[in-house]
Structure 1
């Protein structure tokens, strides 16, 4: 793998260009695209030379990085991939790659026993499974939950880099409720994942209210380096979501004490996988258990409860009980 971050940016940019067969790519076009990428990601304003791009192309063609990219020149002018389906991101792992990944895996495993390793354990499991499935050339024996066809995932890295580099993005966005798309500057403070759906969380340039933007509703976006970035100086994601289930936080709704009767059938599941970190079992009875959580009332909470069907009965607050009752009545009338 490339040892230099700038080199990796250049290779990935060239790869992205050559995958786009809707246009023809001259050497000058590739130089321009690489220069823009280096400026966007690294702030490098110095232009890239023809010799450097030509050397990058030769390196991508070679076996040194394991790419062996089938880059050809058409009409002595236009660069493209001979195989239209080729990408350096699809290159299989080499034995050297697997060796380095094993080293990284061994290092990560040393953190077992520390409290912060809990957040890394799933990453380690995925990495370990990927290494062994490649090394042994066998089918995977672990099937992680994923949604690779979810729209908007291609924006993740751009948004992530914008957060790290404190840059504003200009976004074309269409929510589920809106008739038309809206364009606006947005200052992303963090990324939030909930049930395999990603959200960019931050503020619009003319508002002081934190907003969640679902990545699958983004039509287009670009980094606007000329627009000043509004930095997050007040919130941490951990505290911001402390009293909610999901990604929706209201700034004018107080937390509620929610009590739910859980049936005997579902009680073991709910006890071993709590709805929220505040969950407590306050009573055991012939029906099952009564749990209590302290959270904001939001759509994600309602959806969690409705997902258990007749396995849950909201006891209080009255407002939530009536909402769930109304939803179940409407659902029942549809059958």
Structure 2
């Protein structure tokens, strides 16, 4: 691993420590934190020397990286940021940074059009737009979907490295339905994003589990457990016949037919609910009947509910019954709301 990558991990670790104003940090504390971070992220267990961390602090204080970090020593022993709101992550881009990023964008743009690079298109556009706006000191002209209040993103990096380094995790977790916190000895295999939420798929007690990162309370490496390789699911084909991230191993995909009114049919046609979607019938009034072949799960049901009265499930009967009960309950709720409005 190149030294500059390890150095960056140390800089970010020192930054995280010094931003924590509720603890006093000695040089030995910072050495221990950097050693733990390098072991967690890169599997390096030889430790960090005192001189290395001292040089890191000097580098962060200097202008070489553009940080100019206001690191001070107080009581002749403890380190902190003189400006409590400072962080190296908030440092503006330098001209050299912009030049390097521009060159990176130009290299990445050369790969556009290759099938194996198609998933990177929006990342390149995002990077290109950010560099341009930074150069011109203007606002970005591309606004990607994001959720600033999303929790759990801090676990992305440690889980990613645990997967790559085949490390077992001890995850403290509380689902929305649970009344108490659970603890999992978890073998992570895959990170998956769906609608701005992140999920990790892995093994717990010989079964495949799917945990939402925003419900994780705490994560740590479980050193005493040996990692078990994935033999539970095929990552390449697992999501072929589902909408979202939820599936039961015993449930198979079904042909689902649904009617969409003329006003919403163009939206469904141009933004398919699933790649298997096809038009079965075009009606004289502009409405259309579609078919998809997927597993029936909560994400699919929520997709259909989002269209409210503009969509009608035709088959299979099991899904028709589910939708009927959902709308029946919704109707009762609105009847109660209207009654309360009349009374009030």
**Short-chain TM bin:** over 0.9
Q: Does 1:16 align with 2:22?
A: no
Matches within 5 A, 1:1-335: 4-204=4-204, 206-207=205-206, 209-233=207-231, 235-287=233-285, 288-335=287-334
SS of structure 2 residue aligned to 1:277: coil
CA deviations on 1:206-233 (whole Å, 9 max, x unpaired) are 22x2111001111111122332111124
SS of structure 1 residue aligned to 2:157: helix
What are the ranges of 5 or more consecutive residues in structure 2 without an aligned counterpart? 335-344
Greater CA deviation, 228-237 or 147-156? 228-237
Give the whole-Å Cα distance in 2 for the aligned partners of 1:30 and 1:122: 38
Instruction: Report what 2:341 is aligned to.
Output: none
**TM-score, reference length from structure 2:** 0.94
What are the ranges of 5 or more consecutive residues in structure 1 without an aligned counterpart? none
The structural deviation recorded for 1:92 is: 1.1
Give the whole-Å Cα distance in 2 for the aligned partners of 1:286 and 1:318: 26
The structural deviation recorded for 1:3 is: 6.5
Give the alignment's Cα RMSD to 1 decimal.
1.3
Greater CA deviation, 319-328 or 298-307? 319-328
**TM-score, reference length from structure 1:** 0.96
Give the whole-Å Cα distance in 1 for the aligned partners of 2:234 and 2:288: 34
SS of structure 2 residue aligned to 1:33: helix
Instruction: Report what 2:339 is aligned to.
Output: none
Give the whole-Å Cα distance in 1 for the aligned partners of 2:85 and 2:164: 32
On the 8 A contact 2:261/2:311 being kept in 1, the answer is yes
The structural deviation recorded for 1:86 is: 1.1
The structural deviation recorded for 1:106 is: 0.9
Give the whole-Å Cα distance in 2 for the aligned partners of 1:263 and 1:52: 67
Give the whole-Å Cα distance in 1 for the aligned partners of 2:45 and 2:262: 65
CA deviations on 1:192-248 (whole Å, 9 max, x unpaired) are 1100011011111x22x2111001111111122332111124644330011100000
Give the whole-Å Cα distance in 1 for the aligned partners of 2:99 and 2:232: 42
| Pair 334,34 (structure 1): closer, same or farther in 2 beyond 3 Å | same
SS of structure 1 residue aligned to 2:96: helix
